[in-house]
Each structure stands twice: as C-alpha cells, then as structure tokens.
Amino acid sequence: MTTPQEKARLESIKRSWEQKRAITRNMGNIKAKIGVYSGKGGVGKTTVAVNLATTLAHQGYKVGLLDVDIDCPNVVKVLGVTDKPEQVDGQLIPAERFGVKCISMGFFQENENEAIIWRGPMIHNAINQFLQMTDWGDAEYLIIDLPPGTSDAPLTVMQTIPMDGFVVVVTPQELAQLDGRRCIHMIRKLKLKVLGIVENYTGEMFGEGAGTALSEELESPFLGALTLRPDYRDTSKPTVLNSADVMSEFQHIADQLKVSLATNGTEGDSES
C-alpha cells in the first residue's frame, strides 16, 4: 500500500516531469539556447549577455534575451528597454529593443531600488512561469542571463531548460579565475556543454590571460577577450551600438560561439 509520503513524492515527480515537458514544448522552436554564466557577481556577466544578444541581432539573427537572475534583474536597465511585455491568451509577449526580445523580473518590479527577497521555491516558480508562458516566436538564439554562483538558482535553470551550452565569463583576477573553474566543473557534473570562456575587463588595470589559461587547463574553447574601456560609461544603449571597438570584440566572440555551437552539433549557427 502506498503511504501518504510516497504518494506526495510521486505527485511531485509527476508535476516536475509535466513542467519540464511543457517547457521543452514551448521552447522547441528556438534553435540555440545559450546560458551566460559566472561564478561570482561583478564580472560583467549581464553586460556580456546583453551585448552578445545585441550583436547577434545586429548581424541579422532573431534573438531573445531571458533574464533569470531573479533577485538582481539588471537586463532591462542595460538593454534600455522601456516598454513592458504584454500578456495575450495566457502567454507573455516579450518587450523588444534593438532587435532583441526580452523578458526579465525587472519588468514586474514596482520599484527597481527594492530588493527581491525570495526563497528558493519562489525563485523556482518564477523561472518556470517565464519558461512556460513566454512566446519567443521563431528565435534563432536565446541568450539566458543566469544568476551567478553554484547555488540553487543557477542549478534550477540548468536542470529545467534544455540548454545547448554555456558561455562562462571570467576576469583576469586570480579569484575570478578560481570561480570560473568552479562554474565549469558544475556544468560538466550536470553533463552539460561549455561552449566557451570570455575574459572581461582585460587591460592595464587588471591584466589579462586568465581566460586563455583556464581554456587550456580545462580544454574549453576561448571565445575572446573584452578590454576595459571608457566606452562602457555611456549607458544610453548597449555599448556595441556606441563603440566600433567594442562591437568588433563582440563580433569576434559571436563568430567563435557559432563555431563552438556547430562543433557541438547545434543548429543555431545557421544563417538567417
């Protein structure tokens, strides 16, 4: 005879399986789903995610940008989008700017200065709603800005979304390199793919080389380096649209990412 505890456990497994099936079905038309991930905050993960998405859109691709950093949602601010998503027939229609469709918890905050203080289950539910309800259309790339670290929130995303792989963002400092190493180990423990490493904030101030060293050590592709430039001070729009130098760096990263996707058997690198 099934005990109440066993019955509850079976129901939980069933709900989880149904949720995952609904998410897979809803996101089935997206050619490449790419997580942008870091071991710690402050390394420029969101800046990389937004500018990478904008670069791909600038190249003519249909691009979505999903911000699942629920407690610190910054994508809306960096992208500079002011329109809010619409809800039509139970689905969320993403807001769009610079050719990038965007969904973020930032759209649903009454005051952007207020902290979102949620426990794990609430964050999990919010992520699941975004994944099941958002209509991305026929997007060729979905760039997903993950929460930093190796705790419950990024784990939820990795176990829920059928990802094609991850871009890991590091900076030249030794501790950032250590945290990047932890990220890559976590991705591989979950039997997911590391599409490549991006080294941010390179230059005279912090040095350079951590990304290439980590790439060689862990046999992961090195996608490129981003120089620490004063161009990033202009926050009126994603920096790739204000600076030819920054656009050139991100175009190189985007091109290397397409190579990595093709090597891993993903169709997202096809021409639009």
Does 121 reside within a domain? Answer: yes
Over range 12-17, report the average pLDDT.
Answer: 72
Does 109 reside within a domain? Answer: yes
32: β partners: 141
Does 270 reside within a domain? Answer: no
pLDDT value of position 93: 93
Does 167 reside within a domain? Answer: yes
Q: Is the pLDDT of residue 7 over 50?
A: yes
Q: What is the mean pLDDT of the chain?
A: 87
pLDDT tens digits, 147-176: 888 777 788 888 888 889 999 999 998 888
The C-alpha atoms of residue 88 and residue 23 are separated, in whole angstroms, by 18
Tell me the residue range of the domain where 177 lies. 26-265
Q: Is the pLDDT of residue 131 over 90?
A: no
Does 12 reside within a domain? Answer: no
Does 8 reside within a domain? Answer: no
Over range 191-216, report the average pLDDT.
Answer: 94
Tokens of 220: 């992961």
Does 11 reside within a domain? Answer: no
What's the pTM value of the predicted model, to 2 decimals?
0.87
Q: Is the pLDDT of residue 114 over 80?
A: no
Contact (CB, 8 A) for 51 and 238:
yes
Domain count, the chain: 1
Does 15 reside within a domain? Answer: no
Contacts of 201 (CB under 8 A, 6+ apart): 43, 44, 171, 172, 226, 228
- CATH value at residue 186: 3.40.50.300
